[in-house]
């Protein structure tokens, strides 16, 4: 029984130390995770404190902890939830994780790390931490709308992380990568996933429902843990990470509809083993190693904070969120956590990365977790600041873009036909992207063999042959790129036309907004396809080449975007003028409010893309009187834009922030319906959003 | 990768256990049995090619024991102990001692070594809280006797802890000198006192601090830390981890948040507990059981009959009615986790041979299976036992409960507690001395004989005889002292229940005598059984038992006589009641006055359980049925002293007596029993019936 007592001794040590540290961290209002990490650090071999736990035992429990953590993540994840998250969160997650992976890879290479290590670095900084964000939100009592977006993005991120885990396990299995082996492993992975999910979906939810009917918590617990460990073991047997199996097991259980009840039941077990996982992570922290790589830690920390904030914000603006929501979402997600530990420990366990990556990841996570609450608190003022500092035309664009997105989603006439016409090009895009990916990877890996083949059959000089091969590949790539570009163009213009249907005859007043929308959509599609493509191919391509291409394309689109935005500004100014003219004429005729509405309606019809402006009259007792638009922070707080101010004597078109409001002014406010109503509340009642 | 071995084994265990528990849950059998079966399947003794690593499972099983004991401790707080009161404690002490004694005797009869026999006794002494809890929960039993059962279980847990410590000491191989034993006892006491004392100062405050944060995760981690730490402390001092965990749990329970924490900890406990039961199942070797099939059957029979008998008798002696007593007894007739722990302890210390563990597991498995059935049948069986009891014992049992109540709430003016504490202390000291004397003499008599021979220069044989004589003389002296103090104490208690009248005839003589004798039996049993159980390994087989049996036999004869006496008393009392009331009926007096007269009779005739008159009306459901059919005593615990009837009164009616409309029943028993009896006799009638009181028809 000596071994058993050895276990007891170690567990008692771990939990006693962790009990104290978590209490302290709880008191300091820090996430519990860091209590565990600190406990691990104390009982680890790298501190002079004479409390040392057996690493083997702790790591044994830590593996069970990872399994249970992933299982309960899977429990929270279900297909239904994923569908409910909506395309916006999905697009944001895909875009920003790809960008982060790309950034991480570049940093890794720049620091002189190996390709695989750089790939791991990218994966480590790509996934934000649900635990830390949850903790920060609940501590600040945040329940605003943007938190829902954050959680949606997190769910998709989890899914992406699972795929990254699967891919990383495959990549770092140590074999030499050939297209055949990549294809084969990809095929086994797909078959494994399909088999596990397919059979699982048939069996597991039914089984769970059967068990739940017995209403015995103990039986449910035992069966659930059996399933969890069983799935993990299955994944392990097929050579994948246990985390993957456990996550799939959890989501299969969640499909039964009892996920919440089971999660509640399993939580204490998960907490206990999960604690062991974080303690094990903490035990690996070697201050000396971190000091050696202090530069890497600093660079990666900056990359996480700046990169996450920038990419998430940009992506969410591109998917039609207003500036404030976007900035707050971005600033909430600027940290890494448990997934990074799992990925780092996977790399360590597979021998794919050096010892240093793990502590670096922990250090970056610790720093970013500390900054997260600050960033969240600061996100509101920062959002307002950014909104004020944006170029005028961009302000205008962002304010209106959301309304266009709404128009596009609600579809103009005959939505059914449009859906169908969109799906085909979208599939085409994916196919093209996959082909491009395959082509690049094949060329990169098989270049020597292909060269030899070409040289052998044609008798060319090997160097020339290599040129030929690369030339053909580049040509094919270019062909595919052009294909993508063309389809992209078609899709985005189709969508733009859907938002702003052309008039049968006469002047096309919607031309400017349609053009702006189209360019923006083009950028969105390009980012969504190009970023993952670059992230996936960069280990195979000479450094920076894929990135350079993407940046070049984006640059072109950026210029187009800028021009269309300038255009839009003119359009809006013209529109505002028309509105004012129409209304002032009407006001002269008669002053009743009722008559004004149908007139406004006519203008809306004639001038699409101005966010269906609404007239708001400022009464003398309104709290906003004598305050400037900048002071009110109208756009920042509500997302609505003031197109024009109608004032006795002088009208103001597209007012800037210095414009002070007077009693009797009529503001023409454009924006999404929610934004406009929030603006109305702010202007009339002085209430908050 | 070692960790993958863990994963493989855990996955195997939980997948198999998931299936088996599901099956057993469906069959409405205890889940524990599913674990045992899962263990059997993945164990090395079956031909199924699923074999888990025993060593790994055992590692987790130890954590399981710790968590199981910890959550048992969580359920035990001092407050809870107080509420169950001394009744449960006495029942637990009595039945555990009896079972240890029975187990020892059986072990010796099988020719096992003394230590093995002690282990067997300890193994069959402790009932399983887990199994009973599960059985009660599954059958939805929530009657009054369950509270008594849980009380007994709590005390049994305490006794088990004590047994574990003593067994650890005994089998540590050290020579059993009285000095060493005393040292062990002192060390244990000091350890417990220190752990509990320091713990009480620190733990509840800490837990309250943690709970105030209102975060489940730190609470969970802190609790688990405390649990493992306490277990580790106990381990470091050479005691079992179970003891440490148990104390840790009860310390946390003192914070008042035991229930929350138990709820929080439950899944963790269930998970590791499952590992424990699976590990037990893995140890089941059908071949080994088949080889010891005789022992398994005998021990099983001993557990079931022994537990039922000893618990029932002890419960009756402590003033419970027959139904409660039998139901409690039948609920407690199994062994479980403690038995595994004790058997495992013996195995790991090398004190017992390997056959004892599978025997314990097999017996536990069989009794686990039988428990739900026994609980289901306990109601009918209790009724049957009640009907089959000799008439006079029936009367006695019914009235005994009322006396017990009287004794607890004595007449005003006396100062009972001070006058009783001293004799009780005296009894304890005498018993301790007797035990010490027996053990010392048994272990040291040769040494002493040699010394006496050397000092006095007499033949060793004679010296030996001298030593023994002295010891027996001293023992006899102590026994006599105990008997005398017991007699005095019980007489004092009897007097307290029935204060003798200053002048005139002492109508209370018969019940007081019966009560005194019964109390004396109770004292002898609760002192003698533990004394015999403790000393039996040291003195020649059966000798201590014989003394106890002899003493008990003498007392039993006295009991029988006093019970017979009591019956005469009850009959005379019933007659007086009837006479008094019939005269009252002829006088046509007012109701209040009738009630007043009954009151007077009660005063004059104590010990008849304050009889109440219940009039049967037309349309009452009881009309036309015999007393046996109504099963009045079995269902309510109240007894019918007499039936007043115009056609002729019936004194102390037998079960065959058929009730008729217009009868007046004089029902005696505890207030609760009488109240229930009234309901049974009147309320179930079809049609509106007033609740009957002292009114004559």
A621-669 pLDDT, tens per residue?
777 777 877 777 777 677 777 878 877 767 777 777 777 888 778 888 8
Chain B, residues 261-290, CB within 8 A of chain A, namely: 264-268, 270-271, 274
Distance CA(B633)–CA(A618), nearest Å, equals 88
Mean pLDDT for A78-103 is 82
Q: How far apart are CA A76 and CA B678, in angstroms?
A: 58
User: How confident is the model over A438-465, as pLDDT tens digits?
Assistant: 888 778 777 788 888 888 888 778 888 8
Give the model confidence (pLDDT) of A591-630 as tens digits. 555 555 666 666 666 666 666 677 787 877 777 777 877 7
Q: Write out the two tokens for A559.
A: 């210029």
| A223–B21 CB contact, under 8 Å | yes
Q: How many CB atoms lie within 10 A of CB A4?
A: 19
Distance (Å, whole) CA A284 – CA B175 = 49
pLDDT value at position A535? Answer: 80
Q: How far is residue B519's CA from residue A504's CA, in Å, rounded to a whole number?
A: 110
CB contact under 8 A, A4 and B62: yes
Three-class SS state of B642: strand
- pLDDT for position B135: 76
pLDDT digits (tens, 9 = 90+) for A292-341: 888 889 999 999 999 999 999 989 888 888 888 888 899 999 989 888 88
Helix (H) / strand (E) containing A643: strand A641-646
Q: Which residues of B fall within a CB distance of 8 Å from A218?
A: 21, 31, 270, 274
In terms of Cα–Cα distance, which of A670, A655, A666, A677 is closest to A604? A670
pLDDT at A607: 64
| For A269, nearest residue in chain B (alpha carbons) | B268
- DSSP bridge partners of A521: none
Chain A contact for B21, CB < 8 A? yes
Longest Cα separation, chain B: 98
- Total residues belonging to chain B: 697
Q: Please check whether residue A169 is in contact with residue A186, taking contact to mean a CB–CB distance below 8 angstroms.
A: no
Nearest Cα neighbor of A434 from A537, A344, A342, A575 is A537
Contact B241 A221 (CB under 8 A): no
Residues of chain B with pLDDT under 70: 1-3, 76-85, 134, 138, 142, 172-182, 184, 406-420, 501-507, 539-544, 580-610, 634, 683-697
- Asked whether the predicted pLDDT for residue A522 surpasses 60, the reply is yes
Tokens of B331: 């609920």
Identify which of A8, A221, A265 has the shortest CB distance to residue B241.
A8
| Nearest CB neighbour to A269, from listed B2, B210, B267 | B267
Residue count of chain A = 689
Can you tell me the distance from the alpha carbon of A105 to that of A96, in angstroms, rounded to the nearest whole number? 14
Mean pLDDT score, A133-162:
81
**What pLDDT is attached to residue B225?**
92
Residue of B553, B19, B300 lying closest to A223 (CA atoms) = B19
Residues of B with Cβ-Cβ distance to A266 under 8 angstroms? 267
Q: How far apart are CA B199 and CA B203, in angstroms?
A: 5
Quick one: residue B390, left, alpha or beta (phi over 0 = left, psi -120 to 50 = alpha)? beta
Alpha-carbon distance values, B265 to B242, B273, B349, B689 (Å): 17, 12, 31, 52
Rounded CA separation B80/A482 (Å): 80
Q: Is B22 touching A (CB cutoff 8 A)?
A: yes
Q: What is the DSSP letter of B215?
A: -
Q: If we measure between CA atoms, which residue out of B470, B525, B550 comes closest to residue B92? A: B525
Residue ranges of alpha helices (H) inside B213-301 are: 216-236, 241-252, 258-283, 286-291, 293-301
**B631/B70 Cα distance (integer angstroms):** 43
CA A217 to chain B, closest CA, distance in angstroms equals 8
Find out whether A241 and A235 touch, Cβ atoms under 8 Å. Answer: yes
pLDDT in tens, A475-520: 888 888 888 888 888 888 888 877 777 666 666 667 777 788 888 8
What is the side-by-side order of every strand in the sheet holding B639-644? Answer: B612-615, B664-668, B639-644, B650-651
Smallest CA-to-CA distance from B381 within B304, B323, B333 is with B323
Query: At residue A538, what are phi and psi to the nearest 5 degrees?
Result: -60, -30
* Averaged pLDDT for residues A267-278: 88
Tokens for A86, please give them: 């909506």
Which pLDDT does position B378 carry in this prediction? 85
Chain B CB contacts of A216 under 8 Å are 25, 31
| CB within 8 Å: B222 and A22 | yes
Alpha-carbon distance B195 to B235, whole Å? 13
- Name residues 43-82 of chain B within 8 A of A (Cβ): 55, 58-59, 61-63, 66
* Backbone dihedral region for residue B214 (phi beyond 0: left; psi -120 to 50: alpha; all else: beta): left
Substitution target from B50, B139, B217, B248 for chain A, most A beta carbons within 10 A: B217
Model confidence pTM above 0.80: no
3-state SS, B343-374, equals HHHHHHCCCCCCCHHHHHHHHHHHHHHHHHHH
Sheet holding A666-670, edge to edge: A614-617, A666-670, A641-646, A652-653
pLDDT digits 0-9 by tens, A341-376:
888 888 888 888 888 888 888 889 888 888 888 888
Q: Which residues, 6+ apart, have CB-to-CB distance to A649 below 8 Å?
A: none
Dist. CA A282–CA A365, nearest whole Å: 12
Let me know if A141 is exposed, middle or buried by CB neighbors in 10 A (0-12, 13-18, 19+). exposed
Three-state DSSP state, B482:
helix
Does A233 contact B11 at a Cβ distance shorter than 8 Å?
yes
The helix/strand/coil state of A669 is strand
Give chain A's mean pLDDT.
80
Q: Record the tokens describing residue A379, joined without a space.
A: 């996100």
Q: What is the pLDDT of residue B276?
A: 81
pLDDT of A303 reads 92
């Amino acid at each position: 029984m000596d071994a058993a007592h050895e276990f007891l001794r170690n567990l008692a040590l771990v939990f006693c130390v962790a009990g104290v540290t978590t209490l302290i961290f709880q008191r300091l209002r820090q996430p519990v995770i860091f209590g565990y990490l600190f406990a691990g650090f104390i009982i680890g071999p790298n501190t002079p404190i004479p409390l040392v736990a057996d690493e083997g035992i702790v790591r044994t429990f830590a593996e069970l902890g990872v399994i249970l953590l992933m299982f309960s993540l899977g429990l929270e994840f279900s297909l239904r939830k994923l569908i409910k998250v909506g395309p916006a969160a999905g697009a944001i997650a895909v875009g920003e994780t790809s960008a982060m992976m790309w950034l991480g890879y570049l940093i890794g290479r720049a620091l002189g790390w190996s390709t695989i290590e750089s790939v791991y670095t990218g994966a480590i900084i790509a996934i934000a931490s649900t635990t830390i964000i949850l903790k920060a939100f609940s501590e600040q009592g945040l329940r605003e709308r943007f938190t829902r977006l954050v959680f949606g993005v997190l769910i998709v991120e989890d899914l992406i992380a699972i795929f990254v885990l699967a891919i990383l396990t495959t990549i770092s299995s140590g074999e030499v990568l050939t297209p055949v082996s990549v294809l084969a492993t990809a095929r086994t992975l797909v078959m494994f996933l399909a088999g596990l999910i397919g059979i699982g979906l048939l069996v597991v939810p039914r089984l769970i429902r059967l068990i739940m009917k017995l209403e015995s918590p103990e039986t449910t617990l035992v069966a659930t843990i059996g399933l969890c460990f069983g799935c993990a073991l299955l994944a392990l047997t097929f050579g994948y990470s246990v985390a993957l199996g456990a996550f799939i097991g959890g989501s299969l259980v969640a499909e039964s509809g009892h996920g919440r009840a089971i999660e509640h039941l399993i939580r204490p077990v998960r907490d206990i083993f999960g604690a062991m996982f974080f303690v094990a992570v903490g035990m690996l922290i070697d201050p000396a190693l971190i000091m050696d790589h202090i530069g890497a830690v600093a660079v990666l920390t900056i990359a996480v904070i700046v990169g996450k904030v920038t990419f998430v914000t940009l992506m969410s603006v591109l998917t039609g969120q207003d500036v404030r929501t976007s900035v707050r979402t971005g600033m909430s997600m600027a940290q890494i956590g448990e997934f990074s530990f799992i990925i780092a420990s996977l790399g360590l366990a597979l021998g794919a990365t050096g010892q240093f990556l793990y502590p670096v990841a922990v250090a970056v996570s610790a720093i970013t977790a500390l900054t997260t609450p600050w960033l969240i608190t600061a996100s509101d003022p920062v959002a307002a600041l950014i909104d004020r500092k944006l170029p005028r035309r961009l302000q205008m664009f962002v304010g209106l873009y959301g309304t266009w997105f709404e128009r596009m989603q609600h579809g103009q006439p005959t939505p059914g036909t449009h859906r169908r016409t969109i799906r085909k090009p979208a599939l085409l895009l994916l196919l093209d992207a996959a082909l491009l990916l395959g082509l690049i990877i094949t060329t990169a890996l098989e270049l020597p063999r292909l060269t030899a083949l070409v040289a052998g059959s044609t008798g060319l000089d090997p160097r020339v042959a290599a040129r030929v091969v690369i030339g053909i590949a580049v040509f094919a790539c270019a062909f595919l790129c052009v294909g993508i570009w063309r389809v992209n163009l078609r899709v985005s213009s189709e969508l733009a036309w859907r938002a702003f249907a052309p008039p049968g005859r006469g002047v096309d007043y919607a031309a400017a907004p349609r053009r702006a929308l189209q360019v923006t959509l083009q950028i969105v599609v390009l980012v969504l396809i190009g970023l993952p493509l670059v992230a996936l191919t960069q280990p195979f391509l000479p450094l920076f080449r894929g990135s350079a291409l993407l940046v070049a394309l984006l640059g072109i689109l950026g210029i187009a975007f800028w021009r269309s935005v300038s255009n839009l500004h003119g359009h809006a100014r013209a529109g505002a003028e028309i509105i004012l003219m129409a209304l002032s004429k009407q006001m002269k005729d008669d002053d009743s409010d009722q008559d004004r509405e149908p007139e406004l309606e006519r203008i809306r019809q004639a001038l699409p893309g101005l966010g269906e402006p609404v007239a708001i009259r400022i009464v003398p007792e309104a709290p906003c009187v004598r305050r400037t638009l900048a002071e009110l922070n109208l756009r920042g707080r509500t997302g609505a834009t003031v197109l024009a101010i109608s004032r006795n004597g002088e009208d103001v078109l597209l007012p800037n922030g210095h414009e002070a409001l007077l009693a009797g002014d009529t503001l023409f406010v454009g924006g999404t319906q929610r934004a406009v109503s929030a603006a109305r509340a702010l202007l009339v009642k002085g209430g908050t959003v | 990768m070692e960790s993958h071995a863990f994963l493989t084994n855990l996955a195997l265990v939980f997948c198999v256990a998931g299936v088996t528990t599901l099956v057993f849950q469906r069959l409405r059998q205890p889940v524990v049995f599913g674990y045992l079966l899962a263990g059997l399947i993945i164990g090395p003794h079956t031909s199924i090619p699923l074999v888990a690593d025993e060593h790994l499972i055992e590692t987790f099983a130890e954590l399981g024991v710790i968590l199981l004991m910890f959550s048992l401790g969580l359920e035990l707080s001092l407050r809870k102990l107080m509420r169950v009161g001394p009744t449960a404690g006495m029942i637990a002490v009595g039945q555990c001692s009896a079972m240890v004694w029975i187990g020892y005797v059986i072990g010796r009869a099988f020719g096992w070594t003394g230590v093995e026999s002690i282990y067997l006794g300890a193994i069959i002494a402790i009932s399983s809280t887990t199994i009973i809890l599960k059985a009660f929960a599954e059958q939805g039993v929530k009657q009054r006797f369950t509270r008594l059962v849980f009380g007994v279980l709590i005390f049994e847990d305490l006794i088990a802890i004590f047994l574990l410590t003593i067994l650890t000491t005994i089998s540590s191989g050290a020579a059993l000198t009285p000095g060493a034993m005393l040292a062990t006892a002192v060390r244990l006491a000091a350890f417990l006192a220190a752990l509990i004392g320091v713990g009480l100062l620190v733990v509840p405050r800490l837990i309250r601090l943690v709970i105030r944060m209102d975060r489940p995760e730190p609470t969970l981690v802190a609790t688990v830390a405390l649990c493992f730490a306490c277990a580790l402390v106990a381990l470091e001092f050479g005691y079992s981890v179970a003891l440490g965990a148990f104390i840790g749990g009860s310390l946390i329970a003192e914070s008042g948040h035991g229930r929350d924490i138990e709820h929080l900890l439950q899944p963790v406990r269930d998970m590791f507990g499952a590992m424990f039961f699976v590990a037990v199942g893995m140890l089941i070797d059908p071949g080994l059981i088949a080889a010891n099939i005789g022992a398994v059957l005998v021990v099983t029979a001993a557990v079931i009959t022994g537990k039922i008998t000893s618990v029932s008798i002890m419960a009756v002696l402590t003033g419970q009615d027959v139904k409660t007593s039998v139901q409690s007894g039948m609920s407690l007739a199994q062994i479980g986790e403690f038995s595994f722990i004790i058997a495992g302890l013996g195995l790991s210390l090398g004190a017992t041979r390997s056959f004892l563990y599978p025997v314990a597991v097999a017996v536990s498995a069989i009794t686990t299976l039988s428990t739900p059935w026994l609980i289901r049948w306990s109601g009918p069986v209790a009724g049957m036992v009640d009907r089959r009891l000799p008439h006079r014992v029936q009367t006695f049992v019914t009235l005994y409960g009322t006396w017990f109540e009287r004794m607890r709430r004595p007449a005003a003016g006396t100062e009972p507690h001070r006058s009783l504490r001293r004799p009780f202390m005296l009894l304890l000291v005498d018993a301790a001395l007797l035990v010490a004397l027996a053990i010392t003499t048994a272990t040291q008599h040769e040494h002493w004989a040699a010394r006496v021979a050397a000092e006095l220069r007499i033949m060793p044989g004679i010296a030996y005889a001298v030593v023994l004589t002295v010891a027996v003389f001293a023992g006899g002296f102590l026994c006599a002292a105990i008997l005398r103090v017991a007699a005095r104490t019980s007489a004092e208690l009897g007097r307290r229940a029935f204060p003798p009248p200053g002048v005139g005839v002492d109508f209370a003589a018969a019940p007081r005598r019966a009560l005194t004798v019964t109390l004396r039996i109770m004292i002898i049993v609760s002192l003698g059984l533990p004394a015999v159980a403790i000393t039996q390994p040291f003195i020649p087989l059966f000798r201590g038992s014989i003394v106890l049996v002899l003493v008990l036999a003498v007392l039993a004869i006295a009991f029988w006589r006093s019970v017979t006496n009591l019956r005469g008393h009850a009959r005379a009392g019933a007659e007086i009641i009837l006479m008094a009331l019939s005269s009252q009926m002829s006088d046509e007096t007012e109701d209040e006055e009738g009630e007043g007269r009954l009151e007077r009779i009660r005063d004059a005739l104590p010990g008849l359980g304050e009889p109440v008159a219940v009039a049967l009306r037309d349309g009452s459901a009881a009309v036309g049925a015999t007393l046996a059919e109504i099963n009045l005593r079995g269902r309510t615990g109240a007894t019918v002293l007499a039936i007043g009837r115009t056609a002729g009164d019936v004194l102390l009616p037998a079960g065959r007596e058929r009730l008729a409309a217009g009868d007046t029943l004089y029902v005696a028993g505890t207030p609760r029993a009488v109240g229930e009896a009234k309901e049974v006799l009147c309320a179930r009638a079809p049609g509106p019936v007033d609740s009957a009181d002292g009114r004559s028809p």
